Amino acid sequence: DSGVTQTPKHLITATGQRVTLRCSPRSGDLSVYWYQQSLDQGLQFLIQYYNGEERAKGNILERFSAQQFPDLHSELNLSSLELGDSALYFCASSNLPGSTNEKLFFGSGTQLSVL
């Protein structure tokens, strides 16, 4: 158990809908990262927050947004869903804002299926 909690574990929805994925980082960790993993692609970095502030942005679509709350949990909002958004979404946490030698602790992921 990494200490990172993601909910829900599975999510099935229809095209055009909007969903919210939730993540609670390990106790004491200030950074939260969101990654998307599709069958044919590796882990794609979406976005990172550190202590409530956006720290780094990756290949995140405009239809997607995220935020980190004062209690450090984070939410990833996916809207106007398309079939291609079906993927495993991972949240990871670390204690530092993003630096060398800082391994990430991953949650068990949310499997999103868009039908």
Interface residue list for other proteins (CB under 8 A): 2, 4, 33, 35, 41-45, 48, 56, 58, 88, 90, 97-101, 103-109, 111
In the β-sheet with 74-78, what is the strand arrangement from edge to edge?
5-7, 19-24, 74-78, 64-68
Name the minimum Å distance from CB 15 to other proteins: 24
Q: Which is nearer to other proteins, 85 or 107 (CB)?
A: 107
CA distance 7 to 26: 14
Name the minimum Å distance from CB 7 to other proteins: 14
What's the start-to-end Cα distance of the chain, in Å?
A: 31
